[in-house]
């Protein structure tokens, strides 16, 4: 039971830090003015065009694709894998489980491999490409270590055979208990404990790390501004004074 | 110094060169003298409390710019930009990789303004703003031509130009400015142009130019100055008044206006399109320099403002003027404000208002260099990418032999000439020569394959830079040509349309 309480407290803290931290950053990004128009051109000249440009950036990583095929393939594998894995995890948070979430379970299951492979590819570049080695700091390595450990500990619970399989019904009960403030016992499984502790750590470091690129990309002026400054006068911040 | 520059060899295949740490650490432009600093509103020399002053200034800049907020937080060090900067490709100095250049500023920002940097500096690479860091800033923020090529390839659109502008602004604020840019901005405030060319000298020059054109063509083409009530105010880089090949471009504009029968004028008060304040990230100077143009347009009572061939000037005009010195409700709403000279010429060609003889350019086998600020920071015409189409269509309407360089080196992917962003100074010659490498490689290909003998550009900085660096790469210096020289040579003066 002690373990259950410790993890419950850990997750409340992590969720609070994550939510408040990311929300704070989003407020800062949206409140900080962008005094001049600086879209990287050619840029869309309509709002709809900007939505399309942004959609391509966040779904198929258009700029990265133009830039470097290796980073793109590893990065996209990781992010798509993560997206499917996260979608699969929604079954732990929703009752009843929506049909679409049930439907994607097998995809989400194997997406773990894409995710881990992508991360390993990205990490390998940090050792083998001299330019990327030069720009990598300790935190860049640790972030990859963290994500890979989360991925592997999770995958082991699914693919590790009967001995490692986790009692998912109890895990769901624990999570739903957290949501409704009705604490339920957490199954005592090593990989589950590792997995959950590291996820909590990831949530805590999210708002103070480079993971802010996730909300950040939507606020990037070079990507989200319309190229219409001759037609519509733009002023903000110091340029409005 | 010029003799000692080791000109990098062309790469047979587009391999990415290995890093050579510290290879350009010695490159530093001359520091601005106290009067240069003061003429643009900065302290004359290093202030006593420079460390705190710099940190404070950096915090202010970030709090005023969404771009900086997002760019400083979002980089994941993926490496996509590492082989995109011409200065990295030409020098192999890892601090010329865009991400590494950004990190010089990011490290300081993180140290003083983020939780991770305050409490775990080693972990995230955060650094105190020491004298060593200050020197690195001065060196490497003056090895960025603010060409924005990295921003094209960054998955978050991080633009190193914004970072190096902020870095230079912080350095200026503590008294460590760059002589070249600051001296020039001071001249614009005082006299109206980068050269410090006063009204009588300008009038003289233009008169001489009119005589030259008439001697050449037998037609009295005018280059008017300070004509009230003219239809168009032409704002052009002052290099167009005297430098080669710029001046032939100015002659070209004059011929276009002459044949189209449009009244136009230059202004002695606003005799400069360039606005180097952008290079040093100074908002106040940016606005102050631009304001001269609004003033001149109002004083002369013109209906349109047209901008001559200049890359960063077109960025400032296209992207910033309406914000800084607009609204342009006193101009003719039928035309975009401002308009690029290429837009004017292109429209006239479309309407059949110019009589052009392509054969007049048959001795030229032409390629076109997209200037960074035109390509990646502005537009021409009414569709995205018009800035690539319009100049090429003008060339094709005026000449029979046109050949583009490789696709990965033109349009949005264009390589900087190596001299933009306030680096066009002799004290940075080694950097300029090395930074020109990728462009020179692409040029060599079309020279070998198609016998190209003419490199056309629409930017005063590009033209000056190429005139200087082409010989280092064994090309003829006079390959570099103004786009409107090609136009001017094709125009059949004397024949009316």
CB contact (8 A) between residue A63 and residue B324: no
pLDDT at B273 over 50: yes
Q: The CATH number of the domain where A108 resides is what?
A: 1.20.950.20
Residue percentage of chain B with pLDDT more than 70: 99
Report, as an integer, the average pLDDT of B219-236.
98
Please tell me which of the candidates B66, B124, B148 has its beta carbon nearest to residue A221.
B66
pLDDT at B494 over 80: no
**How many CB pairs below 8 Å do chains A and B form together?**
209
pLDDT in tens, B157-193: 999 999 999 999 999 999 999 999 999 999 999 999 9
Sort strands B480-482 and B454-457 into parallel, antiparallel or unpaired: parallel
pLDDT at B221 over 70: yes
Mutation target for A interface from B22, B59, B64, B70: give the one with most A CBs within 10 A: B70
Whether ipTM > 0.90 holds is yes
Report, as an integer, the average pLDDT of A50-63.
98
pLDDT at B2 over 70: no
* Element counts in chain B: helices (H) and strands (E): 23, 7
pLDDT at B142 over 60: yes
User: What pLDDT band is residue B1 in, cutting at 50, 70 and 90?
Assistant: very low
Report, as an integer, the average pLDDT of B436-456.
98
pLDDT at B373: 98
User: What pLDDT band is residue B496 in, cutting at 50, 70 and 90?
Assistant: low
Tell me if chain B has a CB within 8 Å of the CB of A125.
Answer: yes
Chain-wide mean pLDDT for chain B? Answer: 97
Interface of B with A in 332-371 (CB under 8 A): 336-338
pLDDT at B424: 98
Query: DSSP secondary-structure letter at A188?
Result: -
pLDDT at B84 over 90: yes
Domain interval for residue A106:
2-240
Alpha carbon separation from B364 to A126, B69, B217, B244, B452 (Å, rounded): 48, 48, 20, 17, 8
Domain total of chain A:
1
Quick one: tokens of B283? 């908002």
pLDDT at B3: 55
Report, as an integer, the average pLDDT of B376-392.
97
pLDDT at B139: 98
Residue percentage of chain B with pLDDT more than 90: 97
Alpha carbon separation from B126 to A137, A237, B441, B471 (Å, rounded): 10, 28, 37, 43
Residue with structure tokens 């805590």?
A204
Residue percentage of chain A with pLDDT more than 90: 96
Please tell me which of the candidates B78, B103, B412 has its beta carbon nearest to residue A75.
B78
CB B438 within 8 A of CB B16: no
């Amino acid at each position: 039971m002690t373990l259950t309480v410790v993890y419950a407290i850990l997750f409340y803290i992590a969720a609070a830090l994550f939510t408040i931290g990311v929300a704070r950053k989003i407020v800062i990004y949206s409140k900080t003015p962008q005094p001049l128009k600086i879209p990287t051109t050619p840029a869309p000249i309509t709002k709809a065009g900007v939505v399309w440009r942004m959609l391509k950036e966040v779904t198929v990583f258009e700029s990265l694709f133009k830039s470097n095929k290796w980073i793109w393939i590893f990065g996209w594998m990781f992010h798509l894998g993560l997206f499917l894995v996260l979608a699969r995890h929604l079954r732990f948070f929703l009752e009843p489980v929506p049909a679409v979430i049930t439907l994607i379970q097998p995809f989400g299951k194997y997406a773990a491999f894409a995710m881990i492979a992508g991360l390993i590819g990205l990490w390998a570049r940090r050792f083998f490409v001299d330019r990327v080695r030069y720009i990598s700091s300790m935190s860049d390595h640790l972030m990859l270590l963290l994500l890979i450990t989360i991925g592997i500990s999770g995958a082991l619970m699914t693919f590790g055979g009967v001995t490692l399989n986790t009692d998912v019904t109890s895990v769901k009960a624990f999570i739903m208990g957290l949501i409704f403030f009705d604490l339920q016992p957490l199954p005592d499984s090593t990989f589950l404990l590792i997995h959950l502790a590291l996820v909590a750590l990831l949530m805590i470091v999210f708002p103070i790390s480079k993971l802010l690129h996730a909300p950040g990309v939507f606020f990037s002026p070079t990507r989200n501004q319309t190229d219409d400054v001759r037609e519509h006068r733009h002023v903000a911040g110091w340029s409005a004074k | 110094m010029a003799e000692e520059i080791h000109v990098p060899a062309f790469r047979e295949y587009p391999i990415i060169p290995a890093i050579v740490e510290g290879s350009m650490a010695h490159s530093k432009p001359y520091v601005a003298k106290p009067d240069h600093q003061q003429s643009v509103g900065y302290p004359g020399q290093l202030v006593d409390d420079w460390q705190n002053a710099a940190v404070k200034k950096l915090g202010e800049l970030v709090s005023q710019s969404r771009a900086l907020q997002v760019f400083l937080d979002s980089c994941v060090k993926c490496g996509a930009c590492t082989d995109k900067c011409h200065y990295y490709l030409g020098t192999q100095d890892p601090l010329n990789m865009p991400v590494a250049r950004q990190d010089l500023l990011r490290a300081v920002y993180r140290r003083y303004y983020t939780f991770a940097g305050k409490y775990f500096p080693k972990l995230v690479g955060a650094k105190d703003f020491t004298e060593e860091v200050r020197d690195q800033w001065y060196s490497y923020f003056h090895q960025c031509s603010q060409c924005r090529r990295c921003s094209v390839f960054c998955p978050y659109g991080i633009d190193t130009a914004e970072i190096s502008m902020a870095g230079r602004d912080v350095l200026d604020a503590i008294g460590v400015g760059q002589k070249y840019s600051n001296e020039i901005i001071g001249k614009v405030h005082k006299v109206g142009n980068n050269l410090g060319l006063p009204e009588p000298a300008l009038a003289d020059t233009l008169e001489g130019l009119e005589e030259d054109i008439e001697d050449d063509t037998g037609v009295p083409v005018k280059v008017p100055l300070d004509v009230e009530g003219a239809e168009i105010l032409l704002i052009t880089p002052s290099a167009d008044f005297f430098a080669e090949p710029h001046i032939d471009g100015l002659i070209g504009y004059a011929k276009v206006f002459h044949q189209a029968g449009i009244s136009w004028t230059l202004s002695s008060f606003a005799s400069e399109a360039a606005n180097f304040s952008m290079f040093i990230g100074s908002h106040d100077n940016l606005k102050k320099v631009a304001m001269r143009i609004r003033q001149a347009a109002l004083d002369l009572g013109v209906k349109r403002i047209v901008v001559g061939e200049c890359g960063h000037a077109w960025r400032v005009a296209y992207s910033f003027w309406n914000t800084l010195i607009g609204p342009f409700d006193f101009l003719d709403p039928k035309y975009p404000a401002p308009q690029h000279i290429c837009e004017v010429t292109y429209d006239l060609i479309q309407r059949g208002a110019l009589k052009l003889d392509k054969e007049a350019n048959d001795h030229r086998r032409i390629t076109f260099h997209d200037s960074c600020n035109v390509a990646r920071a502005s537009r021409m015409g009414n569709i995205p990418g018009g800035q690539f189409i319009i100049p090429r269509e003008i060339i094709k309407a005026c000449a029979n032999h046109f050949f583009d360089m490789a696709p990965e080196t033109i349009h949005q992917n264009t390589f900087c000439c190596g001299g933009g962003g306030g680096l066009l100074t002799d004290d940075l010659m080694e950097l300029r020569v090395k930074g020109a490498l990728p462009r020179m490689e692409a040029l060599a290909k079309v020279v070998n394959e198609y016998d190209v003998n003419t490199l056309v550009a629409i930017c005063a900085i590009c033209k000056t830079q190429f005139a200087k660096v082409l010989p280092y790469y064994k090309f003829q210096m006079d390959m570099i040509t103004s786009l409107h020289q090609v136009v001017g040579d094709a125009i059949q003066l004397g024949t009316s349309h």
